[in-house]
Structure 1
Amino acid sequence: MTGWTASDIPDQSGRTAVVTGANSGIGYVTARELARRGARVILACRSGERGTRALERLRTEVPGAEAEFRRLDLGDLDSVREFAASYDSDDSDERGDGLDLLINNAGVMALPYRQTADGFETQFGVNHLGHFALTGLLLPRLLRTPGARVVTVSSGLHALANIDIGDLNSERNYRRWIAYGRSKTANLLFIHELARRLAAAGSDVVAAAAHPGYAETNLQSAGPKMEGRKAVERVVSIGNRILAQPATAGALPTLYAATAPGIRPDSFTGPRFLGWQGSPAKSWRAKWTRDDTAGERLWEASEGLTKISPDFDG
């Protein structure tokens, strides 16, 4: 993997990719680089204004790109269902009914306590449950597509906390960073269990995870901005400029997991240097993210909360 860059992405012509949170940061870079290599890219974003602006920017930076914006709010399961239904009813898909890449990238970090439209704690609801539901609803398309992959973006900060299966929505004691760590652990347990179930179904769909290290994005400032904490916003901005790698570098682990040959199911890719910066490499992960029992229990709880049961029969 040494020195792997976006220029090493294999030709993606004829492939279709859905990228959540593609309006900015590593999500935008991921969508742009896939489009640059020939993929048809769907930018799945919550804000119509920001999504449309990102699409215009992408088409400027990649002339001739086959890309479109579709609204998706991962904090609202009705929106997730509408997105999947619109995808299934799209008769304009000349490439057939397959889906080659699902990039579960969107996320929120260290927010003050909030709830999603469905009453879930926002970090768990958006980072995990929204992507669990989206993957489940799009799974039939993935199963019909040879060589399809699901890549979910987690974080090295999953090490902050294991999930609490008895308090998934942090109702007893909300601590924003612990809740964030739990949501990122949930991402890894989801991929672990998804990979196991795909293998049991005899599918060649690859479920993998990635993380960007410390990348300069809007993610870090969202919480302070929501609370009007200007001083914290300034500190975050300075830290990003001094310590963070650019989003173009932060997107490389995701792009590697999505396109490089030989990616193994349930793998976790991150930056090479201390999981912080550098080219893509195998990343350390907490042992609790490979716990079969925890993965199964989280899966069952997620089915109950979302009322969505992924169908592995295709």
Structure 2
Amino acid sequence: MQSLRSLFSAPWSSTAKLDGKTVVITGANTGIGKETALDLAKRGAKIIMGCRDMEKAEAAVKEIIEGSASQNVSCLKLDLSDSKSIREFAEAINKEPKLDILINNAGVMVCPYGKTADGFEMQIGVNHFGHFLLTYLLIDLIKKSAPARIITVSSMAHSWGSINLEDINSEKSYDKSKAYAQSKLANVLFSHTLAKKLEGTGVTTYSLHPGVVQTDLWRHLNGPQQFVMKMVSPFTKNSVQGAQTTIYCAVEPSLENQTGGYYSDCAPAKCSAAGKDDDLAQKLWELSCRLLSITWE
């Protein structure tokens, strides 16, 4: 329904400026991450992109500088499937005087079974654990910069996901679509719990569904899935349209006092019952801390 609604409603737009603000975006060398970086650079923000492929990232930086007429755009190496890389990236970011907006955008989708450097199943490892650890390592700087925002790109796929606390890494059985949905539900639950933990700090959190977007993420779909996507492609969004809800969560002034919510088509949206399950969210939080060997009260 939501995407149909967006076809008939006026697109959201805002003239909000971000002069003097620092924004970190993960996975910003293609797709909606790149469009988000371009838009926020045009608004005057200092953009730091965390990307795995530095060659692609440097080409994207060049494009964003040309497209935004801002020189304040750079990229740093970040491989979310490797905690060593996440820690090195965070160390570099923590030298910044401030971090006003963190956008956890990078993701992998329905890929064949694989494991991260730390032994996590690839989708939960990159989409959830990688961003969980990164946010943890940057949280003091973000709090110091308040009012600040943390935005996590999830998906409507979260609504058919469930969290398997006993087998989070899908070692007993692997279904790539289920593992993807689990990782996207984890994004919603993370943002939900984080909002509670940050109450009173001036840091707000948001998770979102960008829409069904035509991006590189489709590369692992099988033949029949590719066919279905071609059939529905007139109703899908391009990367510019797909980036709008992320941008909305980053700049919309009316969201200043909202936190922990889930958004789609630049408006509050309903997330699944599991996405609002406090008990499940807390259990996932504790499991994440344990598996990452961190203490985050």
Q: Is the TM-score greater than 0.5? A: yes
| TM-score for both structures, normalised by structure 1 | 0.87
Q: What is the DSSP-based 3-state SS (H/G/I as helix, E as strand, rest coil) of the residue aligned with 1:284?
A: coil
Where in structure 1 do 4 or more consecutive aligned residues deviate above 2 Å? Answer: 1-5, 231-243, 308-311
1:94-153 per-position Cα deviation (integer Å, ceiling 9, x unaligned): xxx211000000001111111011110000000000000000000001100121000000
Matches within 5 A, 1:225-240: 231=223, 235=227, 238-239=230-231
Question: Secondary structure, in 3 states, of the residue corresponding to 2:118?
Answer: coil
On the 8 A contact 2:32/2:242 being kept in 1, the answer is: yes
How is 1:1-150 mapped onto 2 (pairs within 5 angstroms)? 3-5=10-12, 7-89=13-95, 93=96, 97-150=97-150
2:160 alignment counterpart: 160
Q: Where does residue 212 of structure 1 map in the other structure?
A: 210
Distance 1:253 1:12 in 2: 17
**Counterpart in the other structure of 1:303:** 289
CA change 1:156–1:49 in 2 (3 A) is: same
* Gap runs ≥5 in structure 2: 1-5
What amino acid is aligned across from residue 88 of structure 1 in structure 2?
N
Q: Deviation at 1:72?
A: 0.5
Q: Which amino acid aligns with 1:36?
A: K
* Runs of at least 5 residues in structure 1 that lack an aligned partner in the other structure: 272-279
Superimposed CA distance per residue, residues 162-213 of structure 1 (whole angstroms, 9 cap, x where no aligned partner): 11111111111110111111100000000111011111xx311001111111
What letter is aligned with 1:37?
R
What TM-score results when the alignment is normalised by the length of structure 2?
A: 0.92
Q: In the alignment, does 2:261 pair up with 1:267? A: yes
In the alignment, residue 38 of structure 2 is paired with which amino acid?
R
* Matched AA of 1:109: M
The 3 A distance-change label for structure 1 pair 9 and 309 is farther
Q: Distance in 2 between matches of 1:297 and 1:62?
A: 43
For the Cα contact (< 8 Å) 1:110–1:176, is it kept in 2? yes
> Match of 2:234?
242
Given that 1:136 and 1:309 are in contact with CA atoms closer than 8 Å, whether structure 2 keeps it comes out as: no
Matched, 1:170 2:170: yes
Give 1:3's aligned amino acid. Answer: A
Aligned residues: 288
Separation in structure 2 between the aligned mates of residue 71 and residue 258 of structure 1, nearest angstrom: 23
Shift of 1:3: 3.1
What residue number does 1:192 align with?
A: 192
**In angstroms, what is the RMSD of aligned CA positions?**
1.8
Partner SS, residue 308 of structure 1: coil
Write the distance in 2 (CA, Å) between the matches of 1:112 and 1:147: 40
Question: Separation in 2 of the partners of 1:79 and 1:287?
Answer: 34
The whole-number CA distance in structure 2 between the counterparts of 1:11 and 1:110 is 36
User: Following the alignment from structure 1 to structure 2, what is the Cα–Cα distance between the partners of residues 304 and 285?
Assistant: 27
